[in-house]
Structure 1
Amino acid sequence: MMKATKSASMLLMLALSSTLVLSACGNSEPDKTEEPVSTTDKTETTATDTNKESEPAKSDLKEYKLTMVYPGGTQQDEAKIEDEINKYLKDKINATIDLQPIDWTAWEDKVNLMIASRDPVDIYFTAQWTKYAVNVGKGAFLDLGPLLKDYGQDIVKTLDPVFLEGSKINGVNYGVPTNKELAAQGGIVYRKDIADELSIDMSKVKSIQDLDAVFATVKAKKPEMTPLYLLKGENFDAHYFGNFDALGDTSVPGILLKDATDTTIKANYDTQRYVDTLKLTRDFFVKGYINSDAATTTTMNKDALKAGNVFAMTAALKPGKAKELETELGLVGKLGQIELNEKTVSTSETSGSMLAISTTSGDPARAMMFINLLHSDKYLNNLINFGIEGQHYTKNGEIITPTDNTKNYAPGAAWMFGNQFLNYVWNSEDPDKWEQFRKFNEGPKVSPGLGFVFDSEKVKAEVGAIVNIDRQYQTALETGSVDVDKVLPEYKDKLLKAGVDKILIEKQAQFDKYISEKK
C-alpha cells in the first residue's frame, strides 16, 4: 500500500535538515520579507482573511449534512456546539454537521465495523497508529488530490509540504494532516501535587527504571492510588515511548529504532529494547504499581487521571502537554510532565493525526470545504475545540480562561482538527506556547527510515492474520498483565505461523531499495 518516492523523500530531508524551523511553527507575527515564512505566519495571515475566491457561492450549493467520526468521549454540551457550528456552516458552505465521537477504547473495533458495513460517513479521523494504511487498502478513503486542488487551497497554503508529502501512500494523499508539532517524544504525565505532598523529587527521574522508587513510595503512602495507569496503546512499549519506527502503519510488523542508525528491520520480539521493556513493565505489574485491569480496561487514561486515584500515565509529549490536560481534566496546577526518551522525527509523525474523506461520502467536495475551514477559519476552529465564548470560556486577546461550564465541553481534541496554530491558549498555559512548539521542532534525532513508507500489498493476507493475533497477545504483554517468559514465545510462534517472516523480508527488500536509490 505505501511506498515513498525518491522526490518525496528528498523534500522531507531538505525540509528537516533546516532544523525543522519551517515545520508547522514560527514567529508570532507575519514575516514581512520574501523569505520563506513559517506555517504559523502563513496561518495567521490566512485566518484574518479567509480565501474568499476558494469559497463557492452559497447559492450554488444544495444543503448537505456532514458526518464526522473521531475518537473521544461524548461531551455534555455537544449538541449546543453542533447548533453553533451549523449556524456558521450554513452561511459558509450551506452545510450542517453531525459530530460522532467514539470512545477511545471502542474506537478501533467500531470504525472497522463502520468501514466494513460501508456506513454513510463523510469524514473519519485516521493516523498511522490506527490502521491508516490498512483502511486505505480496504478502499475506505478517497484520493484527496483533486479535492485539495479544488477545495483545499487554504490547507495547501498553510500546511508545511513535509506533512502532505510524508503522509502519502503510493504518491497519493488519503488524509489531510493536522497542522501541529512535527517532532515526537514520549514520557509521563503525573500528579505534581501528590509528588510534592509525598516529597518525591521527580527531577531525579531520567528513565523508566527510575520510576520504580517513585511508584513504590506512592503505593506505600497512598495505597488507594494507582501509581501507573496503562492500557492498550498507552504503555512503555507504545511507538512514541520506545521510539519505534514502523515505517508506515504500526499494525504491520517490522520496526527500526528512530534514535539509532541500524537499518535492519526486526520484529518487535527480536528488538531488545521492546523485550526489556516488556519485562520491566511486568515487574511493575507484579509489584502492584499498574492497574490490574490494564489488559481489558475500557477507561481511557485521561479519564482515570481525572477521577483522582491515578498518579501517572504514559503520554506522547509536546511543550505544555500537562498544562493542556490540566484544563481539560479540571486539574489546574496539579500536573507535571517528564520526557523519558530522545526527541525524534520520522515519516510517521507526518501522518500521526489526519482527517480522511470516506468513499461513502455523499458530497466529498463539501467534506473538503469543511476540512479547509478547520485549517483557515479561526472562529470555527476554536468553536469545535473549545466551545462557545462566554459560556465555555472567556477571552482576552488570544488567552482564554475557563468558566464553570468548561467541563461540559472539553474534548481535548485540538490536535485532531485542522490547524493547531489557530487555537487560543488557556490562561494556565505558557502564553508563548506556539513559540515553544517551534523550539520543540528544532534538532530532533532523525530516524533512518525518514521518507520511507512500506507498501504491504504483496503481504496483505499475512498482515490481516497478524492483526488478529496482536489483539490476543499484544496488549496483555505490553501492560505487564502476563508472564513475559511464558507468553512471548507463544506470541512469537503464532506470528511465525501467520507469516511474519514474509512481511519482514518484503519490508526489508523495499527499504534496502529505497536506501540505495537515495544515495
Structure 2
Amino acid sequence: MNKSMEMKRSLVMLSIGFSVALAGCSTTKTEPTPSATPAPSTAAAQSAQPTVAPLAPVELTYYFPNGPQKDLQTVEDAVNKLIKPKINATVKLKLIDWGAYEEKMKVTMASGEPYDLVWTAAGFNNYFQNVANGAYAPLDDLIAKYPDMKKGIPDMFWNAVKVKGKIYGVPVFQQSTAGYGYIIQKAVADKYKLDWKSVTKLSDLTPFLETVKKSEPNLVPWEFTDAFTTAPPMFGLESLGDAKTPGDLYLKDGGKVVNQYETPEFKDYLTLMRDWYSKGYLRKDAATLKDTNADRKAGKNALQLGQIDIDSVAFAAAGMEATGRMSGFNPDTQSYDFQFVKPLLTTDKAAATITAISANSPNKERAMMFLNLLNTDKEIYNTLVWGVEGKHYKKISDTRIETLKEGGYQMFAPWEFGNMALSYLSEGDPKGNDQKFTQMWVDLNKNATPSNALGFVFDFTPVKAEKANTDAVIAELYNALASGSVDPNKYLPTFLEKLKSAGGDKIIAEKQKQLDAWKATSK
C-alpha cells in the first residue's frame, strides 16, 4: 500500500473511530470506573445496589514512534481482543516512523484532531513545551482512581512530570537512571585486543576509532548520537526543561543557570567531534540522518554512545552473562557496555518517556483505563511490546523470549510503554537469573542518587516566543556543529549570536528565576 493510500485509510479509520466515540459518550460527561461488586444476598440488598451504567464502546487513537512494522495490524487485533472485555474499548495503533514523528505530532496538535493517547518525552516531541501549549489534559483526578498503576511508579518519576503542581502524563517506569558511557562491538574489541575498560572520557576512544577506520572498512567507527544533549552529566551538566533549550546547571554547583553552549565543555566537545568527523569516523550524512535503527539492526556501528545503568563489568561481577545493548537490535552483534559516568537520576531522564492524553480526547477516562492496563496487566503490556507468541516471538521460559526476525514485528522498545518491570527479557538481556536482573535495575532506579534539581520543571509559558525562536536556530545549526560536519571555530560564534538574538538570554534568566523560587519552596 502506498503512502497516500495508507494516509487516506488512517483518516477514514480515525473519522469512524471519532464518530463512534462521540456517539458512545453523548449521554454522559464522565465514565464510571469498572469495579467488581459482591453479589447481594437478598432481593432487598439487590435493590439497594446503585445502578452502574455499562461502558459504551469506544475506539482510542494512540500515536507513538518506532520503525515501520509490517504486522502491526495483527498486534492491534491481539491487543484489542484482550482489552475489549475489560474496558469495552479498542485501540487504533498509529505508529509513525521516528524521523517523521515530531513533525507529524506538531501538525496533529495544531489541527485540533481529537486523538486520545500520545507518546512524548522531556526532549523528543517535547512534553513540557506541549503542556505549555495546552496540548495535553491534566490527569491528577484520573490517576487517583488507579492506585495500582500509581504505586508501581516511584514518586520521583511522578514529580518529574509535574508542571505547576499538576501531572499531564504518565511516566514509563524504565531504566532511567542516567549513567553514561559507550558501547563497542565485542568482536571488534576482542579481535584488536582493545582495552575497552580503560576509558574515562570520550576522547579516550580516539585510538579505538582509528583502528576501526583502518581495519574494518565495512563498519562505521562511531554512530552519531549527540552526546552533549543526550548525556549532559558526561560534561558535568544537568538539563533544565529539555536538553537543547539554553540554560543548564553544573552538577557541582546546582544553583547558577548557565548557557551550556558558551561553556568550555561544549567547545571541547565540538572540537573533538570535528576531529572525528574529519578523520572519517562518522557517516558523512551524520548531521541529517534521522534514523540510526537501520545501521543498528545491520550491525554496522563499531562504537556508539550508551546510556547505561548496569554495564558489562557489573553483570560479570553478579555472575550474569550479558550479550550487550547492541544485541537488542541485532542478536548476532554482541557488545561490551562500559559506564564511565556514574548513575544519576535527573528530571529529563525520569521524564524521558511518557504517555499523555490529548486535551482534545473525547475519551479521557477510557484512555486512562487503557493506560492502567498497560501498567498493570503483563499480558496486555507484552503483546503491545513484543507481539503475538508463535508469530512474533517464541517463549524460552516464563520470563524470557526470543524474537522472530521474519515475524514482522520487532520494535525492541519495552521502555516506550507502560511499566517496563512487566516486560519479558529478550536476546539482548543478560542471562543467569532473570528475576535478579529485573530487580537490579528496578532497585537502581528506585534508589537512584537524585540530582540537585530533581523535580524542578521549567514552565516555558513566559518565554514561549523565545523558545520557538531558539528552537529554530538549534534546528538550523546544531546538528551540523555537534556532528563535526562544520568547523566550530567558524560556526560556533554564529550559533551563539543567533541564540542570543532569538532570546536565549531571556530564557536563561527565566530559568534562574523559576529555579530560585522552586528551591525556596522545596526546602
**Is the contact between residue 187 and residue 316 of structure 1 (CA under 8 Å) also seen in structure 2?**
yes
Corresponding position of 1:281: 273
* TM-aligned CA distance change 1:115 to 1:170, over 3 Å: same
Q: Name the larger-Rg structure.
A: 2
* TM-aligned CA distance change 1:515 to 1:428, over 3 Å: closer
Corresponding position of 2:398: 398
Deviates most, 58-67 or 450-459: 58-67
5+ residue gaps, structure 2: 1-33, 38-50, 313-321
**Is the contact between residue 58 and residue 92 of structure 1 (CA under 8 Å) also seen in structure 2?**
no
* TM-aligned CA distance change 1:359 to 1:318, over 3 Å: same
Does residue 456 (structure 1) correspond to residue 460 (structure 2)? The answer is: yes
Q: Aligned to 2:246, which of 246, 253, 268? A: 253
Q: Aligned to 1:270, which of 246, 262, 284? A: 262
Measure how far apart 1:477 and its partner are: 1.1
Measure how far apart 1:195 and its partner are: 2.0
Corresponding position of 2:224: 230
- The one-letter amino acid of 2:439's match is E
1:416-495 → structure 2 map (5 Å cutoff): 416-426=416-426, 429-430=429-430, 431=434, 432-441=436-445, 444-495=448-499
Which whole-Å CA distance do the structure 1 matches of 2:122 and 2:404 have between them?
37
Measure how far apart 1:496 and its partner are: 0.9
Measure how far apart 1:115 and its partner are: 1.1
Which whole-Å CA distance do the structure 1 matches of 2:428 and 2:349 have between them?
27
Which whole-Å CA distance do the structure 2 matches of 1:262 and 1:359 have between them?
34
- The one-letter amino acid of 2:499's match is L
Kindly tell me the number of residue pairs found equivalent between the two proteins. 464
- The one-letter amino acid of 2:219's match is M
Measure how far apart 1:68 and its partner are: 1.0
Which whole-Å CA distance do the structure 1 matches of 2:324 and 2:55 have between them?
38
1:353-372 → structure 2 map (5 Å cutoff): 353-372=353-372
Corresponding position of 2:378: 378
* TM-aligned CA distance change 1:337 to 1:96, over 3 Å: same
Corresponding position of 2:305: 314
**Is the contact between residue 58 and residue 91 of structure 1 (CA under 8 Å) also seen in structure 2?**
no
Does residue 70 (structure 1) correspond to residue 61 (structure 2)? The answer is: no
**Is the contact between residue 181 and residue 337 of structure 2 (CA under 8 Å) also seen in structure 1?**
yes
**Is the contact between residue 255 and residue 267 of structure 1 (CA under 8 Å) also seen in structure 2?**
yes
* TM-aligned CA distance change 1:293 to 1:333, over 3 Å: closer
* TM-aligned CA distance change 1:333 to 1:469, over 3 Å: closer
Which whole-Å CA distance do the structure 1 matches of 2:428 and 2:334 have between them?
11
5+ residue gaps, structure 1: 1-50
**Is the contact between residue 58 and residue 93 of structure 1 (CA under 8 Å) also seen in structure 2?**
no
Q: Does the residue aligned with 1:107 lie in a helix, a strand or coil?
A: helix
Corresponding position of 2:144: 149
Corresponding position of 2:348: 348
Residue by residue over 1:458-483, the C-alpha shift from the partner in whole angstroms, topping out at 9 and shown as x without a partner, is 22111111111110011111111111
- The one-letter amino acid of 2:369's match is M
Q: Does the residue aligned with 2:455 lie in a helix, a strand or coil?
A: coil
* TM-aligned CA distance change 1:138 to 1:236, over 3 Å: closer
Larger RCO: Structure 1 or Structure 2 (Cα < 8 Å, ≥ 6 residues apart)? Answer: 1
Which whole-Å CA distance do the structure 1 matches of 2:149 and 2:115 have between them?
22
Corresponding position of 1:409: 409
**Is the contact between residue 477 and residue 495 of structure 2 (CA under 8 Å) also seen in structure 1?**
yes
Measure how far apart 1:213 and its partner are: 0.3
1:180-191 → structure 2 map (5 Å cutoff): 180-191=174-185
Q: Aligned to 1:296, which of 272, 277, 288? A: 288
Corresponding position of 1:138: 133
Q: Does the residue aligned with 1:276 lie in a helix, a strand or coil?
A: helix
Which whole-Å CA distance do the structure 2 matches of 1:423 and 1:191 have between them?
25
**Is the contact between residue 70 and residue 100 of structure 1 (CA under 8 Å) also seen in structure 2?**
yes
Residue by residue over 1:35-87, the C-alpha shift from the partner in whole angstroms, topping out at 9 and shown as x without a partner, is xxxxxxxxxxxxxxxx9549xx9981222111111121121221111111111
**Is the contact between residue 235 and residue 479 of structure 1 (CA under 8 Å) also seen in structure 2?**
no
Corresponding position of 2:160: 166
Which whole-Å CA distance do the structure 1 matches of 2:365 and 2:446 have between them?
36
Which whole-Å CA distance do the structure 2 matches of 1:271 and 1:442 have between them?
32
Corresponding position of 1:92: 86
**Is the contact between residue 325 and residue 334 of structure 2 (CA under 8 Å) also seen in structure 1?**
no
User: What percentage of residue pairs aligned between the two structures are identical?
Assistant: 32
- The one-letter amino acid of 1:314's match is L
Which whole-Å CA distance do the structure 2 matches of 1:507 and 1:427 have between them?
43
RMSD over aligned CA atoms reads 2.6
Corresponding position of 2:27: none
Q: Does the residue aligned with 1:345 lie in a helix, a strand or coil?
A: coil
